[in-house]
Structure 1
Amino acid sequence: MSTSHPAWLKRMQNGSIGEARARAFLIDRFWILERSVDIEGADFIIQRRITTHSLFDLRPPRLGLVQAKFIQDEKTDIYIHSEYVKEKTGEPHPEFFLLVSTGYEDRCVMHLLSAEDIMQNFAMVEPGLENAGKYKLPGKTLFNNKFKVASPRLSLERMEASLNLADIVKNHRFMFPFVSTEAPKEAAIAPKYSEKIDNAYASNIPKTFFTIKKDARRWLEDVEEAKGYLEDIVTSIDPLIALKAAKDFDSMLTVDGRLSLGRLYDKEFEDEVNEYSHKLALLKQHNLLDNYILLREKGEKLISEHLCTGEPWNKQDVCLFECKLDNMLNVTSFGLRKEQEKHSLPNNGTVQVIASDAETIELCFSFVPAVCRWSFSDTYQENPTWEQTVLSNARVWTATILFTVFSWIEQDFCSAEKLDVYR
């Protein structure tokens, strides 16, 4: 009777053996942090056993990444992602280690490789081949005992020393994807700024804010790195180490250096956010926010539907739009038609208020449907289709209407003199 196992079962068994032996090896010297998800290349996240710093400190303790493998014979090769092994600058990551276990029972052997060991002794797979961009570690090389752990104590001490010398900022950047599964906090914005109120920045407030915060985060990391170099100079007792830190610090201050910081404050953006906030507050105060947003959606639908029905529109055709709203922003009448007498129409794209009081507003404006006007939320197209033209025009002209409608809300039926009538 055959005792062979299917390939999938062997892989599971080997993975379990590798992790179990690595955990037993590491736990004598390090705290092993639990992972919330299984990330390839990060079988174990380790931390030196120190209690004077926590992960929430400005300069948290350095963490290490350990990948654990088990190979049963020399025919088994190991592949390691290059980004785990080396930085973009080509320097090895001092916080990455590979633990390879071989043999069974009395013949168990542990092999320890640092990122530097991998870079110096193995090559990456060439582009175009399977596993391209990964380091290939032939099983035959691993079985020759070059990286055998002869003394667990000494091997663990080397790992600890390597972590201790790792640059704190680079360590944080390297480890962050493995210890955090949350979306970057830079993407967070107060929900009120996501309302579709149609001012100049209405669709872009979250995007513009995110861009500013990303720049601030990047510069904060650079400043933190510069701070680390200055601290190394101040605390060092070795002139050579201090001079190396000084050289690294000076390299950040060159014309092309990372500390050539730009400006974050944007006066135009601040004005637009204030305008948006003013509109939002007033619409909420008079319980019109939902109706205002629904009016935008209805306006886009009405305009686009009317432009897409009937005879095609030529570039010389002018469209006259007319509508009437009540004081709850309900559309009580609506019309959209072709006009030949251009001189009798309002200026193209300019809304004309025909009549307004505290109860209703009646307005009209003209535009050329065949000429595409891109809205803030659209992506420019070189040769837009008729459908793209119609949709973008509908967004632009609806936003134009809403500017006028808001002015009516602000100046007429929400004014102190007419507030009682409205209520």
Structure 2
Amino acid sequence: MGAAIKIPLIGWGIRMNSIWLKSMQNGVLGEARAKSFLVERFWVLERSVDVQGADLLIQRKLTARNFLDYSPPPVGVVQAKFIQDGKTNISIPRSYVQDRNGDAYDEFFLLVFTGFEDNERMFFLTAADVKQHFDEAVDKEKLLFRIRGRDLLSLADKEVQSKRRSLNEIEHALSNADFRRNRRFLGNSGHLTVDRSNIDVAYTVPFANWYGNIIEAFYEQKSNAKGVLDDLERCGDALRAMISATDPIEAMHTYEKELHEFIDGRGYLAFSMDKVWNEDLYDSARAHTRHLDRLSEMGIRSGYEALMTAFDHAIQDYANKPPSASVVSTHITVTYNPRDLGKAEVEILEEDRLCAGAPSPNQWARIVESKAGRQIICYDEGRIHAAPAGYAPAITPEIYILPFQRALDTVIFGEESDLY
């Protein structure tokens, strides 16, 4: 009989207990940091069990609507992960991320945290991001999306540089989910609404372009399309009324009252589409997305969006205040991490003189300094307040954004972007 094999059960038990405790600690850390991040913007809902991968369920703070409503606002599903280092793998069941057709759920979000105290880092991914960056895997017949920790930590473009920007993206996704649900209902009932917020989140990045405000232009285009649709429905209702009529006089009265204004010289129903098709908007939107794609390829899109958001908010606060009577120029210094464009700081000072520097192409600003990590721009307030209608800075701060953005893009790309 061979020698007995001794198994160190006590040591094994301690090791397994340590692994379990570490896993529990990581779970608590991830959920606590996620809740702290989300709670200022959303209702964070408690759950008793893991609902389709949800560590947290969130809802927009719409006080006029709640769960007792017939159609309550949609709930977002947030899974939080904490990883100690790049050796930790992350796995998510595929059913949490996509539907049976393989389409990503717009209401699913992944937050990944790492580091402690002053070295804390956070990564934010949508379901579409998970599909793009994670590998598909099978574990004990479970279909998963999986990524190595070091690969996720290398996704610089997904690291949160601006909490405000990431919260805006989550809120925008939930708003659009609400819109789509309402659109399905209203579309079936013959009614549609137009809302400025119903636009892909990529177009909410606050940067300037040669055309103008894409969000406003898209809203106007859809409003014009809605006007044409209303006319079509009016004509449809009139034709149905004529078909249902039993009196030819009544039928012709309907024709004269409801249809006559839409009849052209050849007797055809005619609807003007001039204000529906907007080629400039189309070209501008394509330039906008190309710009973001280039930044994504360089791994700095998240930092760029955070930088432009920080600049936009600083300018919004400044531009909506009445200028001092003696101000001649506005001196703006923007500093940031030149590697990832993070940790942006914007300093705005009013001056009684113009700084020396190279005039920007639009002539209302001077580039005092422009290098990786810092831009200094001096704005000529006399020229700004004499700007053409539509560029009033209290309404559209693009007049301040444009010179800074052109200088920034030239540093980043080595050439001026095709946005201008």
User: Same fold, TM exceeding 0.5?
Assistant: no
TM-score when scaled to structure 2?
Answer: 0.41
TM-score when scaled to structure 1?
Answer: 0.40
Structure with larger Rg: 1
